[in-house]
Structure 1
Amino acid sequence: MSSMNAATSGQGKADLQRADGSPVRVVVVDDEETLAELVSMALRMEGWEIRSAGNGTDAVRVAREFRPDAVVLDVMLPDFSGLEVLAKLRAELPNVPVLFLTARDAVEDRIAGLTAGGDDYVTKPFSLEEVVLRLRALLRRSHAVSASAGSTLVVGDLTLDEDSREVHRAGESVSLTATEFELLRFLMRNPKRVLSKAQILDRVWSYDFGGQANIVELYISYLRKKIDAGREPMIHTMRGAGYVLKPAT
């Protein structure tokens, strides 16, 4: 856990923040330690403050102390069900948004979670990007956080508008597929920072990537053809370490 925390520190300013300007707080509750670490890592990449818990008892205690703006909650926990934990959380924090994670995909399970007061529902296996996007949507709808001015990422002469999903390099429009856009957004949220293939896979694709690291190389090559072609390169390969995006010199 500590190595992942270190690997995900130092990100840029988040576009969502608490009313007082401090980072958004999220509690991740899952008894699968690896999955909890990966979700936490993805959320830290947003510039958010994260706490985790592996069971319902700890989840309630952490939430009471941490006062989160949102909770990612696994339905199946070793001591209480996620629905029981939700009831205890809501007794402490009546308005906190809750995103359920579960291996169950039956319609009745989804209905039970939402009827109990959950705000959204993601079925395993899921992409980390989906979790982030759904949480961002829940947080935007809540009154506890606000969006900072603008949603445009800028690195050198490269700009990316997160709302309109428009990308420009030196004023020229760049057309990207959905996956290319998410990969570029991840790189631009972490400028001048080397990102490993594993980090990129975890953040842009799915936590269960099965070692298919070549997909990262493939999409990096796609981005280079669209972002760097005929221009000073911004996307660089750090042999044995990963990739980094930085302003052209």
Structure 2
Amino acid sequence: MSKILIVEDELAMLNGLRDNLDFEGYEVDTASRGDDGYKKLKSGNYDLVLLDVMLPGMSGFDICKKVRMEGNQTPIILLTARGEELDKVLGLEIGADDYVTKPFSLRELLARIKTILRRARSTSSSIDDWVEIGQLKISFESFEAKINDEPVKMSHKEFEILNYLYRHSGKIVTRDDLLDEVWGLDYQPTARTVDNFIVRLRNKINSEEVQHIVTVHGIGYKLVN
């Protein structure tokens, strides 16, 4: 049974989500303040978090950014009444896995939850052992990465992108491939967002002598290991 944490300060929304997720067979925990949600997320073992952006005590953006910096890779879906493109891009770039704008369809939210949980299980089980990609040593099962035996912080999205590139080593992967396979959302980030993630991965993988993620101009990328 998957365990989901809901962090939401609107009590009607919180109770409604809790009841519906409970009905769907999920184990549900809740918090109505950002600081309380952060403490629960940090200490609990959750499979997914529904995280409101505007919260008392600590914003959803701050929670997301902080737990990712601490190495917590629990999938996060941001919930917000905002609809601006800048907020969507920011949420994804700081490590959120999805972004749902209120008011939203419960059916849509449930579908996204199932998709992210399925993708997380697929990512963790696709490659069992530690592998070396450039200067990076990585375990896609435990979401750990090291350079010279020193831990390297990576977001959940970075693991997913690198996993996809690794499984297609030597082949050209287009930006649309990454958008469909890694994000797979009705709302999709821009090509700039994808490029930004690639830049981060290059900084972790590439050495001064070898470029392991190669740009195929006008098409996409290729991992050469």
TM-score, structure 2 as length reference: 0.52
Partner of 1:104: 82
Shift of 1:78: 1.2
* Residue 69 in structure 1 maps to residue 47 in structure 2: yes
Find the aligned partners of 2:107 and 2:117 in 1 and give their Cα distance: 15
For the residue of structure 1 that corresponds to 2:50, the secondary structure is: strand
Match of 2:64 among 54, 62, 86: 86
When Rg is computed on C-alpha atoms for both structures, the one with the higher figure is: 1
**Pairs within 5 Å for 1:89-238:** 89-91=67-69, 94-143=72-121
Q: What value does the CA root-mean-square deviation take over the aligned residues?
A: 1.9
Find the aligned partners of 1:144 and 1:37 in 2 and give their Cα distance: 30
1:55/1:145 Cα in 2 relative to 1: closer, same or farther (>3 Å)? Answer: farther
1:67/1:143 Cα in 2 relative to 1: closer, same or farther (>3 Å)? Answer: same
Partner of 1:207: none
Partner of 2:220: none
Find the aligned partners of 1:96 and 1:33 in 2 and give their Cα distance: 24
Contact 1:24 1:145 in 2 (8 A): no
* Residue 35 in structure 1 maps to residue 13 in structure 2: yes
* Residue 44 in structure 1 maps to residue 4 in structure 2: no
Q: How many residues align?
A: 124
For the residue of structure 2 that corresponds to 1:118, the secondary structure is: coil
Contact 1:104 1:124 in 2 (8 A): yes
For the residue of structure 2 that corresponds to 1:142, the secondary structure is: helix
Find the aligned partners of 1:117 and 1:33 in 2 and give their Cα distance: 26
For the residue of structure 1 that corresponds to 2:121, the secondary structure is: coil
Gaps of 5+ in 2: 125-225
Match of 2:3 among 25, 42, 63: 25
Partner of 1:188: none
Find the aligned partners of 2:71 and 2:115 in 1 and give their Cα distance: 19
Give the fraction of aligned pairs with identical amino acids, expressed as a percent.
39
Could you list the runs of 4 or more consecutive aligned residues of structure 1 that deviate by over 3 angstroms after TM superposition? none
Deviation string, structure 1 residues 37-94 (Cα, Å, up to 9, x no partner)? 1111111122110001111111122223331000000011112221101123335562
For the residue of structure 2 that corresponds to 1:78, the secondary structure is: coil
Whose RCO is larger (CA < 8 A, sep 6+)?
1
The letter for the 2-side match of 1:104 is: R
